[in-house]
Structure 1
Amino acid sequence: MAEMEDGFDESEDRDSSSQPKYLNIVQTLRQKLNSGHYRGGARLPSEAELTRRFKVSRMTVVKAIQHLQQEGLVVRRVGSGTYAAPQDGSESLVFGLLIPDLGETEIFEPICRGMVRSPQAKRHSLLWGHSFASADNKEEQAKQLCQHYLDQKVNGVFFAPLEFSPHRERVNREILKKLDQATIPVVLLDRCGLRFPAMSRHDLVGLDNRRAGYLITEHLLKLGAKNIAFLARKGSVETVEARIVGCREALFAVGRSLVEIVIVPEDAIDSKTIREVLDRRSLDTLVCANDHIAANLMQTLLGLGKRVPEQVRVAGFDDVSYAGLLPVPLTTMHQPCGNIGAAAMSAMLERINNPFLSPRSILLDAHLVVRQSCGTLTD
């Protein structure tokens, strides 16, 4: 027999056993629901489509759906359709980690550890992504890993959108579209990957970057900082923009403004550029988009003979493992990576159990870690 779209066979409407026709529909849909063809929250074909496929009356289809509803296998939404019932969380689920920067950006490994250590993760498994031999760039790796998870039919994907690659927004949208088409739930980590004011319709778990930017700038002002600039890498995403916004707001609150936003290519911090901006703007403080940039900046300043913090204060974000081991220990905003991971796991399970929740942004608070790179109130 010819195979029809969505896996239905034209013969499935036939009543070879003389049983009521609606039970043929019930048995076919029940098998597809139990096998995972329709996961929790997935939309089933419409009543009109089922009528056509099974060559039965509309009332026969309605009776079959009502039967499945009584079994707790489907839920009906007025004006929307019929959906596979949300999973109760008792089964073991498999989630994919689609994190192109895993192993390169320090925050993601502790975030993943936070997922694994979450009490809610005990029954479930995480698939750690890896590079494919045929991939020659990060964008292609991300697309291949997405397809790998589609083939594996994972129950959900934790996705940290691409950051610095040239076509990152297009690739991010492409990946999310494929996951949506497969009705695979997605929780975004750290960023939504879209330029403001665009907003993703997926759950996002990360840091409250705007507040973090405000708090660290407020601390610097209390220390006596006069001329503050922000240092960021070219191509940074919206998390950095939010930190800059917070920095600007703290300055505005005291009638000041950000002197300059210094953009550096990749991770290199050219000594000539830094010397010129320090001299031209009489800067005494540089807030860096993250600790990695701050570490590179500190080496550049020391190479220029600038004393930290006596001549130039330096601050960062994230509180990575080596922040306290730099030539001058770094003042930074601590990112609670473990808690972010646990919150992401909780958000994923809630999304699976209630696929009709409105998209949420779950932003955790950072706290200030004071070290020597910004001096003290007595300096």
Structure 2
Amino acid sequence: MEIKELSKHKRIYNDLKQKIVSGEYPFGFQLLPEIELSRQLSISRPTVSKVYQNLQQEKLVEKRIGAGTFVIYQRERKAGLLIGLLLPGSGESEIFETIGDQIMKKSQERSFHCLWVGASVNEPAVRRQYIEKVCQGYVDRKVDGVLFSPLERTEEKDEVNDRICAMLARANIPLVLIDRDTCSFPARSHYDLVSIDNFHAGFVMTQHLLDQQCRQLIFLHRPFSAPSVDMRIAGHQYALTKAGLPPTASQVLIGEPDEEAFVATIPVGSPEVGIICANDATAAALMSTLKKRNVTIGEDLVLVGFDDIRYAKHLLTPLTTYRQPCEAIGAAAVEILLAKIENPNRTPVQVHLLGEIVVRESSFFRKAG
């Protein structure tokens, strides 16, 4: 082998080895076929073959007849990883309790430790004040990674979320977002994100009400809601457009569902009204206020929610909702964070999991007679 080829051999060998050992080429990754790599790098095939042989001798790759060359090296994961949970919404929505429980379960299976501080703060203003202190505590503890569901329902949510992300970035702590992004749809942050497909969920729930012959459809959410709600609204509006009912700004109502003055602005009666609430908690509060105003669900209007929290089926009118796959969200978030800890330079991913509609009484008009 000539000196020039020897130099190329060493450079290619070192480059491939570094990518394998760093985790950029993970276990099971298939290397390019020898002939393709030789063409790509303008070197002889025997040189590439020699590189692959050297990698195989070091037990970094394995050549499988008729299949190709695959990475068999597995990095030893750091023992006793410490992961911090920032789930400020768990005081308001039980989906975060279920997600958190699944993360704790995975910590036993995957041998890491969890810190979950301030899990059940109910008031948005209190969560806003508390969450940064919790995050700073995680930084001081030098956690290996953080699973974060960005703050919502407070005017300063964007600033607080940005400060938390910046705090973790300065400390070089890997971060995976759960349920929602830190910026409004259609913008996208550069962090890994695990959630349901909120656009699809909004479409599904709106289509369900269209199937019930609703022709005046309203999407209702509280002020300063999460970006995931924007995606549900987009799916809702797409369903309307597809049905030949061009959406208007007046069909998106923003307010507190337990305030009678706000609820009084909601049209009832004919044409048949359907309300898509941003989540089950909003739907439950709206049901209570509608009852005070002598508005009957199933006669004057129908409504649906999202999440399928435990009491959704026990409401005065059992609630049709979109069930979140909470356990799958928690499990996926853990795996993505562990991969991020192992290889901080990996490309961020966005994982959208499918939930399912759970049909109950609240989305049907009662037939006369």
TM-score, normalisation: structure 1 = 0.71
> Deviation string for 1:191-240 (max 9, x for gaps)?
11223444221111111110000011111111111111011001112111
In the TM superposition, residue 254 of structure 1 has moved relative to its aligned partner by 1.2
Deviation at residue 152 of structure 1 after TM alignment:
0.6
Q: Which runs of 4+ in 1 moved over 3 A?
A: 118-122, 279-283, 376-379
Please give the secondary structure, in 2, of the residue aligned with 1:368: strand
Answer yes or no: is the 8 Å Cα contact 2:302–2:365 preserved in 1: no
> 1:87 and 1:176 mapped to 2: Cα distance?
28
User: SS of the residue aligned with 1:351?
Assistant: helix
Report what 1:370 is aligned to. Answer: 359
Distance in 2 (CA, whole Å) between partners of 1:318 and 1:112 is: 15
| Secondary structure at the counterpart of residue 254 of structure 2 | strand
Alignment partner of 2:332: what SS?
helix
Normalising by structure 2, we get a TM-score of: 0.73
Give structure 1 stretches of 5+ with no counterpart: 1-39, 42-71, 73-85
Say which of 74, 77, 82 aligns to 1:94. Answer: 82
Whether 1:142 and 2:162 are equivalent positions in the alignment is no
User: 2:85–2:114: 8 Å Cα contact kept in structure 1?
Assistant: yes
Structure 1 residues 279, 224: closer, same or farther in 2, change over 3 A? closer
User: Is the 8 Å Cα contact of residues 211 and 246 (structure 1) preserved in structure 2?
Assistant: yes
Aligned partner of 2:262 in structure 1 is: 273
Residues 139 and 304 from structure 1, CA distance in 2 versus in 1: closer, same or farther, beyond 3 angstroms? closer
Of the three residues 172, 184, 203, the one matched with 1:214 is 203
**Which aligned pairs between 1:138-177 and structure 2 lie closer than 5 A?**
138-177=127-166
State the one-letter code of the partner of 2:118: H
- Residue in structure 2 matching 1:130, options 111, 118, 122: 118
1:225 to 202, 214, 221: 214
What one-letter code is carried by the residue in structure 2 that aligns with 1:104? Answer: E
Q: Which one of the candidate residues 352, 358, 377 is aligned to 2:347?
A: 358
Q: 1:213 touches 1:242 (CA, 8 Å); kept in 2?
A: yes
- The 5 A counterparts of 1:5-20 are none
Q: Does 1:238 align with 2:222?
A: no
**Closer, same or farther in 2 for the Cα pair 1:279/1:103, shift >3 Å?**
closer
CA RMSD in angstroms, aligned pairs only: 2.7
Corresponding residue number in structure 2 for 1:261: 252
Determine if contact 2:107/2:113 at 8 Å carries over to the other structure: no
Q: Deviation of residue 261 (structure 1)?
A: 0.9
Q: Which runs of 5+ in 2 are unaligned?
A: 1-21, 24-57, 59-73
Q: Provide the C-alpha distance between the structure 1 equivalents of 2:302 and 2:180, rounded to a whole number of angstroms.
A: 28
Counterpart CA distance in 1 for 2:269 and 2:317 is 25
How many Å separate the matches in 1 of 2:291 and 2:366?
23
Q: Name the counterpart of 2:10.
A: none
CA contact (8 A) 1:120 1:346 kept: no
1:159-208 deviations in whole A, cap 9, x for unaligned?
11111222221121111112112111111111112234442211111111
Q: After TM superposition, give the deviation of residue 376 of structure 1 in Å.
A: 6.9
Between the two proteins, what is the percent identity of the paired residues? 36
Task: Show the counterpart of 1:314.
Answer: 303
Q: Is the 8 A contact 1:324 1:371 kept in 2?
A: yes
Distance in 2 separating the partners of 1:128 and 1:119? 12
How many Å separate the matches in 2 of 1:200 and 1:365? 21
Query: Is residue 222–residue 377 contact of structure 1 (8 Å, CA) maintained in 2?
Result: no
Please name the residue that 2:100 is paired with.
112
